[in-house]
Amino acid sequence: MPISSVSIEHGSGVYLAYRSLPNKVWFALAEYVDNSLQSFNDNYDAIYTIESCEPLLKINIEIDEHRIRISDNAGGIDPKNFKRAFAPAILPEDTTGLNEFGMGMKIASVWLANQYTVRTSFLGEDITRTFHFDLDEVVKNDTREVEIIESSSSQQDHFTEITLERLSPNAPSSAQVPRIQEYLSSIYRKYINEDNIDIVLNGETLHYHQPEVLNAPFYPSSNADPEGPDIFWREEFNVQFGDKSATGFIAILKQQKQGDNGFSIFRRGRVISGAGDKKYFPEALSGKSTNSYKYLRLFGEIEIEGFEVSFNKQEFQGSEELEALFKHIKNELLLTNPRLLKQADNYRVRKSSKERAKRSKKIAEKIQQREERKVIHQPIEKVALTEKNAIRKKPLRDDVRDKVVYQPIEISGTKYETTLVTMTDNRSQLYYWEEDTREANKVFVNVYLNFNHPIFDQKNGRKNQEGLIIELVRCLSLSECHCRSLGGTTHLLALRNTLNDLLKSI
């Protein structure tokens, strides 16, 4: 069926408006991938017949500083829908697939470039058709129709090739390629994990790696017995909510990592919300606080039906209904596996004594490098304690690693010399101090700092803040010591105990 031209009737001003639409490079490229996948699905049986084996769809994306090319070996553009494919704002006959709005390729192409060319051969036809769009010419001449160039080809040819040139400021740089790979891998994870679909970007086949799921005892037993029976913390579900439905899984991360937590929400097998490291956090499941363990640990994939999406397929319509669906999912989860959300809130990773000792030594070495001081390595048994302190309580020194002597600090005419004793204690206190000896205008203070305290756990999001915590503890200890010399200890002890309790709770 010969096609001599297609209408692009839209008004040149509308095409210029495409350029300023809010968008991301990976979502623009995703429009081409959607078309390729849909063409492959629509023509799968015919491709299978020709190739006499399980067909492999290969979508190849090439990006450089001057050009973007997207090609595939899907079914090509059906001649029945050819004019519709290039005419703006005309819906395809079938709106149940991935290319439901008939706008994606046109908007993405103008957003990325001033000029684009489409070559395609539909399976079973002996024609290759070429469409060429030049934005400058369209605007200058107010063009309403574009000529189609046809050439002969084999009936067994089936492909589409789109070349974008004279790129716009929206086009990606080479530095963005890894980010694009990450997002496209995330958006199409369900497709690229199949054996017969490959998406290749600049020569690299995309893969998606699912975060690992926590396999550990339920938290009440794990806190008391770290060797208790392990549970795989992943729960699948399939729920119906009126005319809406949702299937998928909710799980707890094995290792807490920003970007892995949160949910990816799918429609028709493709991520709409929650791609890459920009996950979706439904309040019903993740909670309100971004610092809660539940928010930082829960993740999952949810395929939903019954919701409309925006024309650029970047968000769902009807946010209130969507949140109501997630509340329903939570209620179902509480019935099927009520312990999962409790585990996400309350489970704490317990490091081995060997790991804690290694961490303690590493931090002590950082202190030594940062300041000019003398480092003393000696067994704790040789540290002199006052008789009063020995009687007062058993020193919290289950596993001492290092001692660091700081330069003296002068407070109101009195010099305080601090010896920081780093340890991994099994009790709950972050720190305590004791006055060792006192001279005329000089006081020697031992500060005991417990690196087994939860505040040093990197899972709590305080990675690389050890130095700040150490300085805080040292200054608090010296402040207490100095204030005690002015008379009265009751309020100081209450201050320290309250501080320790607060630090433990956060």
pLDDT of 237 > 60? The answer is yes
pLDDT of 453 > 90? The answer is no
**Under 8 Å between Cβ of 317 and 309:** yes
pLDDT of 1 > 90? The answer is no
> What's the burial of 65, exposed, middle or buried (CB within 10 Å: 0-12/13-18/19+)?
exposed
pLDDT of 458 > 80? The answer is no
42-56, 123-137, 401-415, 454-468: lowest mean pLDDT where?
A: 454-468
* H or E element at residue 145: strand 145-152
232: tokens are 């795989």
**Under 8 Å between Cβ of 347 and 216:** yes
pLDDT at 381: 40
- The four Cα atoms 384, 386, 390, 396 give a dihedral, to 10 degrees, of -60
Average pLDDT, the chain: 80
β-strand pairing of 67-72 with 197-201: unpaired
**DSSP-derived secondary structure for 54-94:** ---EEEEEEE-SSEEEEEE-S----HHHHHHHHSTT---S-
* 122-152 residue pLDDT tens: 999 999 999 999 998 888 887 778 889 999 9
Alpha helices in 371-407 (DSSP H): 387-392
Please give the model's pTM, rounded to 2 decimal places. 0.67
pLDDT of 384 > 50? The answer is no
* 163-176 residue pLDDT tens: 999 999 999 998 89
Average pLDDT over residues 411-438: 77
pLDDT at 365: 65
Q: Does domain 5-204 match CATH 3.10.580.10?
A: no
Q: Which candidate, 312, 330, 339, 154, places its Cα nearest to that of 237?
A: 330
Collapsing DSSP to helix, strand or coil, 351 comes out as coil
234-238, 252-256, 447-451: lowest mean pLDDT where?
A: 447-451
pLDDT tier at 407, thresholds 50, 70, 90: confident
pLDDT at 354: 56
pLDDT at 468: 66
Q: Does domain 215-346 match CATH 3.30.230?
A: yes
pLDDT tier at 395, thresholds 50, 70, 90: very low
**Under 8 Å between Cβ of 199 and 206:** yes
Q: What percent of the chain has a predicted confidence (pLDDT) above 70?
A: 74
pLDDT tier at 441, thresholds 50, 70, 90: confident
Distance CA 68, CA 118 (A): 12
Average pLDDT over residues 284-309: 92
Identify which has the larger pLDDT, 268 or 84: 268
Average pLDDT over residues 290-302: 93
C-alpha 227, offset from chain centre: 30
pLDDT at 270: 93
**CB within 8 Å of 43: residues ≥ 6 apart:** 74, 75, 76, 123, 158
Q: Could you count the other beta carbons within 10 Å of the beta carbon of residue 207?
A: 12
In the chain, what are the domain boundaries?
Answer: 5-204, 215-346, 353-505
Average pLDDT over residues 292-309: 92
**CB within 8 Å of 451: residues ≥ 6 apart:** 356, 359, 360, 363, 401, 422, 423, 424
Distance CA 252, CA 259 (A): 14
202-206, 291-295, 343-347, 400-404: lowest mean pLDDT where?
A: 400-404
Tokens 């509480």 belong to 334
pLDDT at 387: 38
**Under 8 Å between Cβ of 215 and 251:** no
252-261, 277-286, 340-349, 406-415: lowest mean pLDDT where?
A: 406-415
pLDDT tier at 7, thresholds 50, 70, 90: low
Quick one: residue 57, left, alpha or beta (phi over 0 = left, psi -120 to 50 = alpha)? beta
**Under 8 Å between Cβ of 15 and 110:** yes
Q: What are phi and psi of 452, to 5 degrees?
A: -90, 0
Average pLDDT over residues 435-444: 80
